[in-house]
């Protein structure tokens, strides 16, 4: 079974019809619904998604998404103190590329949990050595 990390962009693109990746996200989510992939994300991606959904739609929509998310079976990875330190190191390393702290933490968690592929649309994952998964 393949491990697949789900980035904020994949969650947002599924929910926001005007998102440039909406159709691709819907197609990929539909494919994942019948697949054996083990899905992972981080609490920071969940936080970032809920915050951005509230800004782009409204808080009630974001809260409904959150309630649905909690029952969807995606494993939420928790950061440890060493992960925080490593994330800030990566943030410094990628400073010229504008990589977010959430992305750096995702990279660290993916490496620690041996996850090589990500469902998302952010080229920073490929630059960090991960494979952007499109189904």
Residue range(s) defining the domain that contains residue 119: 3-77+115-132
The percent of residues above 90 in pLDDT, for the chain, comes to: 87
pLDDT at 116: 97
Dist CA 19 CA 21 (whole Å): 5
Q: Tokens 């991606």 sit at which residue?
A: 45
The model's pTM is: 0.94
6 three-class SS: strand
- Structural domains counted in the chain: 1
The full DSSP string for 7-41 is: -HHHHHHHH-TTSTTHHHHHHHHHHHTTS-PEEEE
Kindly report, residue by residue over 81-106, the tens digit of the pLDDT. 999 999 999 999 999 998 999 999 99
- Residue 135: pLDDT band by 50, 70, 90 thresholds? low
Task: Assess if residue 108 is contained within a domain.
Answer: no
10 domain-assigned: yes
Cβ–Cβ contacts within 10 Å for residue 129, how many? 10
Task: Give the domain CATH number at 128.
Answer: 3.40.50.1010
């Amino acid at each position: 079974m393949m491990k697949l990390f789900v980035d904020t962009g994949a969650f947002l693109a599924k929910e926001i019809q005007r998102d440039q990746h909406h159709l691709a996200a819907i197609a990929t989510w539909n494919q994942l619904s019948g697949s054996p992939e083990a899905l992972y994300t981080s609490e920071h991606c969940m936080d970032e998604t809920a915050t951005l959904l509230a800004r782009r739609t409204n808080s009630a929509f974001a809260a409904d998404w959150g309630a649905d998310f909690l029952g969807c079976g995606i494993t939420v990875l928790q950061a440890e103190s060493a992960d925080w330190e490593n994330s800030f190191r990566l943030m410094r390393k990628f400073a010229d590329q504008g990589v977010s702290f959430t992305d750096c933490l995702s990279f660290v968690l993916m490496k620690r949990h041996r996850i090589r592929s990500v469902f998302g649309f952010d080229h920073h994952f490929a630059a960090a050595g991960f494979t952007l998964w499109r189904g």
